[in-house]
Amino acid sequence: MSITKRFWISLIFSLPMLANMILMPFGWMLPGGNWTQLILTTVIMIISARPFWQSAWASFTKHHSNMDTLVAIGTVTAYVYSIYAMATSQAVFFESAAFVTTFVLLGQVFEEKMRNNASNAVEKLVDLQAKDAEVMRDGKLVNIPLSEVIVGDIVRVKPGQKVAVDGVITEGTSTIDESMVTGESMPVSKKSGDKVIGSTINSNGTFMFRAEKVGDDTMLSQIVELVKKAQNSHAPIQNLTDKVSDIFVPTVLIIAIFTFIFWYVFLGASVASSLIFAVAVVVIACPCALGLATPTALMVGTGRSAKMGILIKNGEVLEAVNDVKTVVFDKTGTITVGKPEVTDVVGDKRTVLSVATGLEQSSEHPLASAIVKRAENEAISIPKVSQFKAIEGKGVSALINDKKSFVGNDKLLEDVQIDAKLKQQVIDLQEEAKTVVFVGVENKVIGLIAIQDAPKETSKEAIEDLKARGLKTVMLTGDNQRVAEAIASQVGIDSVIADVLPSDKADHVKALQQDGKVAFVGDGINDAPALTVADVGIAMGSGTDIAIESGGIVLVKNDLRDVDRALALSKKTFNRIKLNLFWAFVYNILGIPVAAGIFYGIGLTLSPELAGLAMAFSSLSVVTSSMLLNKAKITSKAKFA
C-alpha cells in the first residue's frame, strides 16, 4: 500500500479521536468511549503503522536502526500501554499512537513529492532530445528514429526543428537557440563549418550537417551524465552526518529509557506520565532531517547551475569554492578571444611572412595559425622547408633555401642579433598588448610579426565582479611580460605572472596556494595540470576535452562572467547545506530535552502528538529549504555593505 493511502486511512480513523479531544472540555464524548478508541487505533496500527514495525524489525535483525525504529517503538509503546491501562481502568492515550502515525505519514507524503521534484530536474534534460531525424540514406532523405543516426550521417534540419545530434554544418546557414544546453539566451548564427549541438532548436534557416557525435557521446548526454554524478556526489561535510546517523537512533532510545527511569524512579511520577515523556523523546528525534540536509541541497544547487550552463562536478568542489582567495586565469582563450590576428609586419613584408609561414605551417599553436592565415590572405608562396626542429619554449628552426631560419619569441634573442631600431619597435608593439614574433635568417632578425589576441568583451566585467567579491585576480601566461601587463591593465587584473613555460603553470598555482585556496580558470591542454592542482579548477566549455576532464567546474557558455556566477551559486548551495544541517541539529538538540520534560518546571512540555508533528515537519522543512535554492537570487555583482 502506498504511503498516501496509508496516510488517508490513518487520518480518517484519527478524526473521531481528534473531535473527542477538542470537544471533551465542552462535554462531548466519543460514543463507546475507550472501546471506540481502541478499535479506531487498532485499525490504524494494523493498516497504516505496520510497515514501520516491519522495517524496524528487519533492520533490527541486521543490527541497524532507522527512523522507522523510532516511530514503531513510539507508537507501539503508547498503544500497548493504553491497552494495559484500559484493562486496569486507568487513563489511556490511544490517540497518541494514532496521531503520531498520521503526522509522520503526512510528512512522508510531502517529502516524497519534494524529493522526486528535486531529482527529476535532470531527467527532464534528456526529454529535450529530438525524437527523430531526417537523414540522407542512399541519396534520399528519410525520417529515422534518433537512435539509428550514426556518425557521418548527413542530417537535414528545417526551421523550428531540433538538431538531432552533435555535428558540423555542411551547407546552409541559420540561427540556433542553444539556451537549453549552454544557458546562453541569445540565438547564435551558424554557417557552413560551424558546430551544432544536439537538442538545440533551429530558428529560421534550413541546413544540412554531418553527424559527429551520437548517443551517449553527445554534449547533452555528457552534461546529463556529469550533472547526475554531481547531484549524487558526497560533500565532505556529510562525513559528520554519516557518523551521527550511525549512532543516532540507539542513542535516542537510550535517552528515552533514561527519561522514563528518571521520571518514574527518581522523581516519582506515575507510569503513564513517565511513559509519555519517553514516547515523546522517541517520536521527536528525527535522523532524516540530518540525512536529507546535504543531498537535497546538492541536488537542487547543481541542477540549477546546470541550467545556467555551469556544471559543478561534485560536492567537494562546491565546498572548496567557499575558501577561495585567489582566482588565477590563463590568458589565451580564457581572458582573450583565443583567435589571434596578425596586426603588423615589420621588415620586408613578403620575405618575413614567407619564412614565418614556412616554419609555422604545420604547427597547431594559435599564433602559428594566425600567421598562416595572414599569409593565405596575402597570397604568399610557401617555401620548401627541411630539418625542422622545435626549440622548447622558444620557437622553431629549419633550413629554408639552405639557410638556417627561425621563428620564435623573445627568449630566442639570447642566441641571435637584433638592431637597436627593431628593439625599440618591439617594445612599442608589446606595450600595445601585441605579441611579437621574431623572424630571422642565419642568426639575424630580419623582421617582426605583431599578433594581437583581443580580450573578450565580457572579461573586464567578469574581473570586476570577482574583485568586488574581495578576491585577488592573477593572470598566468607564457606570453611576454609587457604584452601580459598591457592585457591585464585592459581588463583590470591585479597581478601578472608572465613568461611561464607551459610545464610550470601548475607550480605557479602551487606557489599561490601558500596564501590560501586558489581557483584556476583555463581551457587548453597545457592548463590541465594547473586545473588539477588548483583547489577549484574551472574549465571553459570551448576548451579541450582534457581541460574539461580536469576541471571541477565547467563553464559551457564560455563566458568569463560565469566564473563569478559559479562561485556565487556554489557558495549559496554550500551555505544552504550548512543552514540545513544547523537547523536539523538544533531541532534535535532542543527538541529532545523539551520532549524529555526537562523544562517541565517552567510549564514547557511536548505531548507525543506534537512531537510527531514537529518530527514530520522537520524533515519537510529541510527539503523545502533546499527547494528554495531554485528561487534564491544569484547576484553576479557582490557588493560590500
| Catalytically active residues, by annotation | 330
Q: Quote the DSSP letter at residue 616.
A: H
Applying CB under 8 A, does 238 fall inside the site for another protein?
yes
Binding test (CB under 8 A) with another protein, winner from 108, 199, 544, 607: 108
Least distance CB 292 / another protein (angstroms): 6
What does each C-alpha distance from 365 to 295, 371, 485, 560, 572 come to in angstroms? 44, 10, 22, 22, 39
Which residue intervals of 232-341 are DSSP H helices?
Answer: 238-261, 271-284, 287-307, 315-321
Q: Which is nearer to another protein, 52 or 81 (CB)?
A: 52
Least distance CB 121 / another protein (angstroms): 12
Q: Quote the DSSP letter at residue 309.
A: T
Q: Which of 461, 449, 217 is nearest to 353 (CA)?
A: 449
Q: Which is nearer to another protein, 103 or 264 (CB)?
A: 264
Q: Which is nearer to another protein, 60 or 583 (CB)?
A: 60
Binding test (CB under 8 A) with another protein, winner from 207, 209, 264, 574: 264
Least distance CB 428 / another protein (angstroms): 54
What does each C-alpha distance from 392 to 87, 328, 395, 408, 584 come to in angstroms? 94, 24, 7, 10, 58
Applying CB under 8 A, does 265 fall inside the site for another protein?
yes
Q: Which is nearer to another protein, 426 or 548 (CB)?
A: 548
What pairs with residue 404 in β-bridges?
399
Least distance CB 337 / another protein (angstroms): 34
Residue 49 DSSP SS3? coil
Applying CB under 8 A, does 407 fall inside the site for another protein?
no
Gap between the Cα atoms of 631 and 378, Å rounded: 55
Applying CB under 8 A, does 319 fall inside the site for another protein?
no
Number of residues that bind another protein (CB under 8 A): 53
Applying CB under 8 A, does 236 fall inside the site for another protein?
no
C-alpha cell at 267: 522523581
Q: Of 192-231, which residues contact another protein (CB under 8 A)?
A: 225, 228-231
Q: Which is nearer to another protein, 231 or 332 (CB)?
A: 231
Least distance CB 281 / another protein (angstroms): 14
Applying CB under 8 A, does 54 fall inside the site for another protein?
yes
Q: Which is nearer to another protein, 400 or 629 (CB)?
A: 629
Q: Which amino acid is at 541?
A: G
Query: Could you tell me if 94 and 82 are in contact, meaning their C-beta atoms sit under 8 angstroms apart?
Result: yes
- Site string (276-315) toward another protein, x via CB under 8 A: -----------xx--xx-xx--------------------
What pairs with residue 435 in β-bridges?
451
Gap between the Cα atoms of 290 and 592, Å rounded: 15
Q: What is the dihedral of CA 68, 72, 75, 78, to 10 degrees?
A: -140
C-alpha cell at 600: 517541565
Gap between the Cα atoms of 281 and 616, Å rounded: 14
Q: Of 244-263, which residues contact another protein (CB under 8 A)?
A: 245, 247, 249-250, 253-254, 257-258, 260-261
Applying CB under 8 A, does 111 fall inside the site for another protein?
yes
Least distance CB 310 / another protein (angstroms): 18
Q: Which is nearer to another protein, 62 or 633 (CB)?
A: 62
User: Which residue reads 544540412 in cell numbers?
Assistant: 208
Binding test (CB under 8 A) with another protein, winner from 25, 61, 185, 514: 61
Applying CB under 8 A, does 51 fall inside the site for another protein?
yes
- Site string (138-177) toward another protein, x via CB under 8 A: ----------------------------------------
Binding test (CB under 8 A) with another protein, winner from 44, 56, 70, 380: 56
C-alpha cell at 51: 510497515
Q: Which is nearer to another protein, 239 or 417 (CB)?
A: 239
Give the strand pairing for 132-137 and 140-145: antiparallel
Applying CB under 8 A, does 234 fall inside the site for another protein?
yes
Applying CB under 8 A, does 55 fall inside the site for another protein?
yes
Q: Which residues contact 315 (CB under 8 A, 6 or more apart)?
A: 230, 233, 234, 235, 236, 237, 238, 294, 298
Q: Of 376-405, which residues contact another protein (CB under 8 A)?
A: none
Q: Which is nearer to another protein, 68 or 562 (CB)?
A: 68
Q: Which amino acid is at 228?
A: K
Which residue intervals of 557-607 are DSSP H helices?
Answer: 561-596
Q: Which is nearer to another protein, 94 or 260 (CB)?
A: 260
Least distance CB 278 / another protein (angstroms): 10
Q: Which residues contact 365 (CB under 8 A, 6 or more apart)?
A: none
Q: Which residues contact 485 (CB under 8 A, 6 or more apart)?
A: 496, 498
C-alpha cell at 407: 621563428
Q: Among 64-72, 89-97, 143-151, 577-585, which window interacts with another protein (CB under 8 A)?
A: 64-72
Query: Could you tell me if 202 and 162 are in contact, meaning their C-beta atoms sit under 8 angstroms apart?
Result: yes
Gap between the Cα atoms of 65 and 69, Å rounded: 6
Gap between the Cα atoms of 521 and 537, Å rounded: 6
Q: Among 51-59, 373-381, 497-505, 541-549, which window interacts with another protein (CB under 8 A)?
A: 51-59
- Site string (8-47) toward another protein, x via CB under 8 A: ----------------------------------------
Applying CB under 8 A, does 514 fall inside the site for another protein?
no
Q: Among 243-251, 359-367, 373-381, 510-518, which window interacts with another protein (CB under 8 A)?
A: 243-251
Binding test (CB under 8 A) with another protein, winner from 19, 58, 80, 91: 58
Sheet containing 140-145: which strands, arranged edge to edge?
A: 140-145, 132-137, 154-157, 207-213, 166-171, 195-196
Q: Which is nearer to another protein, 467 or 578 (CB)?
A: 578
What are 371-376's contacts with CB under 8 Å, separation 24+? Answer: 371/342, 371/437, 371/449, 371/451, 373/341, 373/342, 374/341, 374/342, 374/345
Q: Among 240-248, 344-352, 524-532, 592-600, which window interacts with another protein (CB under 8 A)?
A: 240-248
Binding test (CB under 8 A) with another protein, winner from 7, 13, 52, 329: 52
Q: Among 63-71, 133-141, 336-344, 443-451, which window interacts with another protein (CB under 8 A)?
A: 63-71
Gap between the Cα atoms of 335 and 463, Å rounded: 9
Which residue intervals of 24-66 are DSSP H helices?
Answer: 33-47, 50-61
Q: Which is nearer to another protein, 274 or 526 (CB)?
A: 274
Distance of CA 488 to the CA centre of its chain: 29
Question: Which positions touch another protein (CB under 8 A)?
Answer: 1, 3, 51-52, 54-68, 108, 111-112, 115, 119, 225, 228-234, 238, 241-242, 245, 247, 249-250, 253-254, 257-258, 260-261, 264-265, 287-288, 291-292, 294-295
